[in-house]
């Protein structure tokens, strides 16, 4: 967990450093980086691709004993943004899906390890309201987006041992998230404009998100009260 927890923010910082242009280029584009790059290209959707460590809070010691901790959770989210207050905020609906898998050693009934593997796979699916504050970059020219999300989480889980499935189910729950994102347009305004002209992508951003899920109910608790992820997003 600790290595992952340190590694991804560092990787994020590295990517940010790599995409940063020279000073002259930044100054060239400083005057207009936060303006709508193409008045004809409206922003209706957002796509986020993210990865981060995830450990389901199963409420038992067996998870750590068998699987040894966290694993990476890969996820994607697609937002539709039908409502907006121009240059202030947007309100939309997002649907997301992810995947993570955990593997460990199965024991014999007497507790001795066998050579058979036991695994747990989870597929979190969620639908959330997404409120994104765009006033900082649009009005104050600070390339920071703040986003809040809340909605329903449905996590499909499946556990198997050897070649046999041990159990499966869907754990529902509440999901929330808070996100801070750095708009990349600031670093390469011309490239951002070209991206809009050619692909209709208005803005791209790197983000860091903290989220939680109470997925469980009467099924296996596979939510986590607090987790984080980082990734790349696009508005188009």
Residues that bind other proteins (CB under 8 A): 42, 44-45, 58, 60, 62-63, 65-67, 78, 80-82, 93, 95, 97, 104, 106-109, 114-116, 118-120, 123, 125, 127, 154, 156, 158-164, 166-170, 218-220
Residues 205, 207: Cα–Cα separation, whole Å: 6
Which residue number, 8 or 120, has a Cβ lying nearer to other proteins?
A: 120
Which residue number, 120 or 134, has a Cβ lying nearer to other proteins?
A: 120
Judge contact between 174 and 133, C-beta under 8 A: no
* Phi, psi for 134 (deg, rounded to 5): -115, 10
Structure tokens at 40: 């004809």
Which residue number, 120 or 184, has a Cβ lying nearer to other proteins?
A: 120
Only one residue has tokens 């930044």, namely 26
In this structure, what is the dihedral angle of CA atoms 113, 168, 222, 67, given to the nearest 10 degrees? 20
Pairing state between β 89-107 and 71-85? antiparallel
Structure tokens at 162: 């050897």
Judge contact between 99 and 47, C-beta under 8 A: no
Instruction: Count other C-beta atoms under 10 Å from residue 70's C-beta.
Output: 21
Which residue number, 7 or 68, has a Cβ lying nearer to other proteins?
A: 68
As measured in angstroms, the least distance from the Cβ of 117 to other proteins is: 9
As measured in angstroms, the least distance from the Cβ of 231 to other proteins is: 18
As measured in angstroms, the least distance from the Cβ of 63 to other proteins is: 7
Which residue number, 94 or 143, has a Cβ lying nearer to other proteins?
A: 94
Which residue number, 188 or 196, has a Cβ lying nearer to other proteins?
A: 196
As measured in angstroms, the least distance from the Cβ of 122 to other proteins is: 11
Query: CB burial class (10 A; 0-12, 13-18, 19+) of residue 74?
Result: middle
As measured in angstroms, the least distance from the Cβ of 18 to other proteins is: 32
Only one residue has tokens 């900082």, namely 136
As measured in angstroms, the least distance from the Cβ of 98 to other proteins is: 11
């Amino acid at each position: 967990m600790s290595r992952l927890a340190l590694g991804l923010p560092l990787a994020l910082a590295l990517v940010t450093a790599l995409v940063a242009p020279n000073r002259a280029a930044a100054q060239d584009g400083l005057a207009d980086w936060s303006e709508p790059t193409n008045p004809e290209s409206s922003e209706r959707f957002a796509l986020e691709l993210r990865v981060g460590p995830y450990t389901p809070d199963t409420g038992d010691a067996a998870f750590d004993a068998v699987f040894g901790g966290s694993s990476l959770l890969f996820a994607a989210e697609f937002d539709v943004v039908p409502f907006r207050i121009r240059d202030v905020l947007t309100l939309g609906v997002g649907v997301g899906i992810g995947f993570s898998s955990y593997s460990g050693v199965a024991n014999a009934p007497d507790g001795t390890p066998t050579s058979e593997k036991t695994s747990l796979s989870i597929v979190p699916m969620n639908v959330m309201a997404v409120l994104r504050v765009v006033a900082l970059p649009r009005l104050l020219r600070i390339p920071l987006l703040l986003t809040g999300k809340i909605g329903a989480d449905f996590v499909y889980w499946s556990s198997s041992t050897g070649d046999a499935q041990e159990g499966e189910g869907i754990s529902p729950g509440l999901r929330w998230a808070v996100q801070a994102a750095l708009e990349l347009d600031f670093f390469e305004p011309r490239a951002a404009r070209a991206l809009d002209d050619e692909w209709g992508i208005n803005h791209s951003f790197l983000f860091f998100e903290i989220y939680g899920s109470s997925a469980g109910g009467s099924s296996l608790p596979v939510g986590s009260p607090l987790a984080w992820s980082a990734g790349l997003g696009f508005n188009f």
